[in-house]
Each structure stands twice: as structure tokens, then as C-alpha cells.
């Protein structure tokens, strides 16, 4: 479905002959593999692509290289060609390293939630940042900063974007300066080079108070327990993304957020699932149906299938940042 979104945007961009398709944090590379397979009938589109994968983990870069069935063009694995669509693929550790000056489509799926956050708490001394300290028992513990910290500048910025109702109730605030800086870089690129970005992640259309969590082997664990051994993730603050993008470039417009269920539904996921169900073998219908339900469901397992994981349809939100010349992207009309 993200392939469908990408082709629609490429058409709105005037079908440029050369496009940088950037994915932020591609994980195992599954989304890009599916996108290339799903769009393979649009030859002009796939032939226009230069894929740029922004990935900080060398181990995942290797896995992406394998899954995209890449052959190296030079001895360095930083540049290769994917045999799935004959597309050049490049790897970078940061977005800044990706060459600019070319129409660009950026996809960030479950990327923003992995970026660092800072937490603030209101105290009799005013707003203090939550810091990590070592207690007398040699265990890590949270304490409040004795004086203002550099991230307080971002707290002030975030509070200026809060609604009056939110401001009244603020006691705890979680902010992600890295997400704000990244969004500004995205907006500047899209504003000057044309194209758009799609951000899909779990988060809120409002200020976030305290959502940081640690997950080890699919279980929630204490954040301070054995640091470095668990995945840390936090809710994505979608209004922050919207305001940062609008502040960074007047040439972009921001659309959404809408729920993942609305996003996929409006792009026609029902028709896609029906088409797949008509052309699959005996084993596949069950996994197609449970996969569909997982993507668009509202958090409850369907009554006929208690094994299906709870749905991501309402907890995940989609937002697009596009160059104003492209008009409104699908399906945000």
C-alpha cells in the first residue's frame, strides 16, 4: 500500500525521470522489498528510482543488502544494484549524507519512535529535566535536574505549540529534539527539491507526557534495567512534526495525522486483500486475514480469532509532508 502511495505522489510530482527514494531506518528491508515488488508494473516509476537507505546499524545494512538481492557495483557495500528491479541502492548513516538536488520521496515507518526523547517534570523549582543518577545502592535511578538543561530550549518551543487546554494540564512533557531537527531537514529538502515524505508510527495527535518504554525479547522491562540490552521506544508527537516542518520551509504543506486504518482503507487495502485472496494457495488465507486485521484493527482481537495480535489501526498514525507544488497527496484529500 505504501508502494501505491509512492506511485501516486510520483505522478503528482509530474513523473520525474530521476527520483531519490529514501527510507529512514529500513530494519530488515522488508518494506522496500515489498514496495519494489508491488510497483514492478510501473516500469517508468521503478526505472526512475535511486534508493537511499539511512541505517545506523552495520548488521542491518548487511541484512538489507541480502534481502534486496543486491550485487555490489564497487568493492564497497555502500553502493549496489538491487536485482529485484535493477535499481541502484546506496547506504548512509544519516539523512544529511544523502545527496540533495533531486526530487525526493522519503518514507519513515516505525523510525521516529526509535529516536531519543527528553522528559520534563513540573516541580516547586519550575520545570526540571528527568536525569539518570546512581543511587547509594549502586542502582540507576531517576532524579530531577538541579538546574536548567540544554534540552529546555526545545521544551519552550514545544509548549508554544501546545493548545490552551493542554497547557492548563501540563505536569510532565516528553519531547524529542532529534525528531524536531530531523523533520526540519526533511522539510527543507522537500521544500527545495520537490516530492514528499510519509511518516507512519505509533503516537498521538497531541502533547506526550511519559511514554518511553523498553522492550526486550517482546516483553516490557524496566527502562533502567541493563541499559543497552533492550529496545527503547517512545510515542511519536505528531503535532511537533507538523509545526517543525511548517517552521522549516514555507514551500511544504503538512497533511494528517490520520489513523493507519483510515490511511490504508482510503488507499484501497480491502481491494488489495481480496485480489490476494483470490490468487493464493491453501495456506495463505489465514495469514492474509490476520495480517489485514493486525494492520487496520482497532486494538481488539476479532471475536473469531483470539490468536491474532491486537490491531495497529488506531494506535498508528500517518502524516505526509509534501512540496506545495504537488497539491494534496493521496489519501489526505
Ligand X SMILES: C[S@@+](CC[C@H](N)C(=O)[O-])C[C@H]1O[C@@H](n2cnc3c(N)ncnc32)[C@H](O)[C@@H]1O
| Residues near ligand X (CB under 6 A) | 25-27, 31, 54-57, 60, 109-111, 114
Contacts of 263 (CB under 8 A, 6+ apart): 200, 256, 318, 331
Please provide the DSSP assignment of 9-72 as one string: HHHHTT--S-EEEEEES-TTSHHHHHHHHHTTT-HHHHHHEEEEEE-S-HHHHHHHHHHTTEEE
Residue ranges in 81-209 assigned as alpha helix (H): 152-160, 164-169, 177-193
Cell representation of residue 205: 495527535
Q: How far is the CB of 109 from ligand X (least distance, A)?
A: 4
Query: Helix, strand, coil proportions of the chain in percent (round to 5)?
Result: 35, 30, 35
Q: Would you say 128 or 267 has its CB closer to ligand X? A: 267
Q: Would you say 97 or 274 has its CB closer to ligand X? A: 97
Q: Would you say 57 or 163 has its CB closer to ligand X? A: 57
Cell representation of residue 282: 491453501
Q: Would you say 114 or 151 has its CB closer to ligand X? A: 114
SS3 300: coil
How far is the C-alpha of 64 from the C-alpha of 329, rounded, in Å? 28
SS3 8: helix
Q: How far is the CB of 201 from ligand X (least distance, A)?
A: 9
Q: How far is the CB of 34 from ligand X (least distance, A)?
A: 11
Q: How far is the CB of 71 from ligand X (least distance, A)?
A: 22
Q: Would you say 2 or 128 has its CB closer to ligand X? A: 2
SS3 97: helix
How far is the C-alpha of 315 from the C-alpha of 298, rounded, in Å? 8
Q: Would you say 19 or 198 has its CB closer to ligand X? A: 198
**Residue number of the CB atom closest to ligand X:** 25
Q: How far is the CB of 107 from ligand X (least distance, A)?
A: 8
Q: How far is the CB of 95 from ligand X (least distance, A)?
A: 8
Q: Would you say 179 or 253 has its CB closer to ligand X? A: 179
Taking the CA atoms of 201, 204, 205 and 207 in sequence, report the sign of the dihedral they define: negative
Q: How far is the CB of 2 from ligand X (least distance, A)?
A: 10
Amino acid at each position: 500500500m505504501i508502494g501505491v502511495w509512492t506511485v501516486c505522489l510520483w505522478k503528482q510530482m509530474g513523473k520525474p525521470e530521476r527520483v531519490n527514494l529514501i527510507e529512514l531506518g529500513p530494519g530488515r528491508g522488508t518494506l522496500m522489498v515489498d514496495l519494489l515488488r508491488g510497483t514492478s508494473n510501473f516500469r517508468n516509476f521503478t526505472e526512475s528510482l535511486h534508493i537511499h537507505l539511512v541505517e545506523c546499524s552495520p548488521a542491518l545494512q548487511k541484512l538489507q543488502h541480502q534481502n534486496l538481492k543486491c550485487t555490489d557495483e564497487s568493492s564497497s557495500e555502500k553502493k549496489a544494484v538491487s536485482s529485484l528491479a535493477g535499481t541502484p541502492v546506496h547506504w548512509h548513516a544519516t539523512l544529511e549524507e544523502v545527496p540533495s538536488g533531486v526530487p525526493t520521496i522519503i518514507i519513515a515507518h516505525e523510525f521516529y519512535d526509535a529516536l531519543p526523547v527528553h522528559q520534563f517534570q513540573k516541580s516547586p523549582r519550575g520545570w526540571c529535566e528527568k536525569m539518570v543518577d546512581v543511587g547509594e545502592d549502586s542502582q540507576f535511578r531517576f532524579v530531577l535536574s538541579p538546574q536548567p538543561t540544554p534540552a529546555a530550549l526545545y521544551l519552550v518551543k514545544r509548549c508554544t505549540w501546545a493548545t490552551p487546554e493542554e497547557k492548563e494540564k501540563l505536569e510532565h512533557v516528553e519531547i524529542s529534539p532529534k525528531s524536531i531537527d530531523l523533520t526540519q531537514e526533511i522539510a527543507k529538502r522537500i521544500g527545495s527539491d520537490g516530492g514528499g515524505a510519509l511518516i507512519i508510527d505509533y503516537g498521538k495527535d497531541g502533547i506526550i507526557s511519559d511514554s518511553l518504554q523498553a522492550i526486550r525479547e517482546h516483553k516490557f522491562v524496566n527502562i533502567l534495567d541493563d541499559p543497552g540490552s533492550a529496545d527503547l521506544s517512545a510515542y511519536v508527537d505528531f503535532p511537533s512534526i507538523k509545526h517543525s516542518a511548517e517552521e522549516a520551509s514555507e514551500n511544504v504543506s503538512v497533511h494528517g495525522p490520520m489513523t493507519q486504518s483510515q490511511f490504508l482503507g482510503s488507499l484501497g487495502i480491502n481491494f488489495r486483500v481480496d485480489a490476494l485472496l483470490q490468487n493464493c494457495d491453501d495456506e495463505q488465507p489465514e495469514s492474509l486475514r490476520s495480517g489485514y486485521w493486525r494492520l487496520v484493527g482497532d486494538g481488539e482481537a476479532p471475536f473469531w480469532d483470539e490468536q491474532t495480535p491486537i490491531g495497529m489501526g488506531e494506535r498508528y498514525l500517518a502524516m505526509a509532508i509534501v512540496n506545495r507544488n504537488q497539491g494534496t497527496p493521496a489519501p489526505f484529500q
